[in-house]
Amino acid sequence: MRLLQQILLCIFVCSACICNARESIRNYKSPLSVIVIPISWSRDYDPERDNFAGPELTAGSYALLIIHNKKDFLYEVSEYGWPVSYTIEAGLDFSYDEEFIPSKGLFQRMYFKGEITNRNRSHLQIAIRIPEDIIGHSLSFKVVYDTGDTLISQTTISPIHIIEASSKEDQAQIFSSLIYVLFETEDYEGAIEIGDLMINTDYTFARGWYFAHEAAMRMGRYDKMILFLEKLWNDYGVISANSVDPNPEYNPQGKRDPKMEAVFKEQITNLKKALSDQQSDTTK
């Protein structure tokens, strides 16, 4: 009888342990988050849509892979500029009910910018380029962090569908996405150069002009600030394309808001005065 009681007690304890383990797994929240930030999602990005299958990115475009780690506030950087203790992999056509299988060499091919900015210590920012030979596939990322005692891994929340650039607007977005990652990785001179290239090739994209203008501001290039702000206003009727309306429609002949137009003219006047003063100082 006593033996039976011990057996029943063991079964009860084991069942409780299993339930607690399941509850722990269900409530476990990884300290890692892995997201992809483009200059804008392609075409009809609407997560609320009933048939929404995930975001789309245009092949050839640039984006930022953002890794946020609540457990790693002072990560070390290797001599190559890479954060130690991290392994980053990319995979194609990954299903979340299957084991993540990385595509050999894919992330290395996508890796664009060697500098990793550290905005708030636990925030890694890596510039990537979407290759053309994965058009038609879905793209996912997996990050593994080695704490020294254990491995913590996290994948992107939903796969990103890679589509072909099929219009002039798509090509303009590719240029603009490069301006965006150059600005975010503090290559302001490079961002200005690509802005000039957009003008020379007759491409236009609101957020491209916005970030080219911001890069020119960081460099004190009043001539370029005027140029890019005028493109933003003349093509889209806005003076900003960041958070309020990040993707305004191309509307070069459209009606302009009088109050915003007054602000635009005032900014241009101030910039031209600053440019004149700058040129006067260089000739003294």
Note the pLDDT of residue 162: 94
Query: β-strands 117-118, 56-58: how paired?
Result: unpaired
Give yes or no for a contact between 79 and 92, defined as CB atoms under 8 angstroms apart. Answer: no
Query: pTM score > 0.85 for this model?
Result: no
Q: How many CB atoms lie within 10 A of CB 157?
A: 13
Give yes or no for a contact between 207 and 237, defined as CB atoms under 8 angstroms apart. Answer: no
- Quick: pLDDT tens for 28-67: 467 888 888 887 765 455 545 555 456 889 999 999 888 8
Note the pLDDT of residue 64: 87
Spatial distance between the Cα atoms of 145 and 137, rounded to a whole number of angstroms: 26
**Half-sphere exposure in the Cβ direction for 166 (13 Å, CA):** 7
Q: Which domains does the chain have, with CATH numbers?
A: 29-163 (2.60.40), 168-279 (1.25.40.10)
- Quick: pLDDT tens for 94-105: 877 788 999 999
Spatial distance between the Cα atoms of 206 and 232, rounded to a whole number of angstroms: 6
Query: Which H or E run includes 58?
Result: strand 56-58
Q: Which residues contact 93 (CB under 8 A, 6 or more apart)?
A: 137, 138, 159
- Residue 284 binned pLDDT confidence (cut-offs 50, 70, 90): low
Note the pLDDT of residue 4: 44
- Quick: pLDDT tens for 65-74: 888 887 765 5
Amino acid in the structure at residue 63: A
Query: β-strands 123-129, 62-69: how paired?
Result: antiparallel
Question: CA dist 50 to 55, 57, 96, 141, 160, Å?
Answer: 13, 20, 20, 25, 17
Q: DSSP state, 83?
A: B
- Residue 203 binned pLDDT confidence (cut-offs 50, 70, 90): very high
What six digits make up the tokens of 271? 């910039």
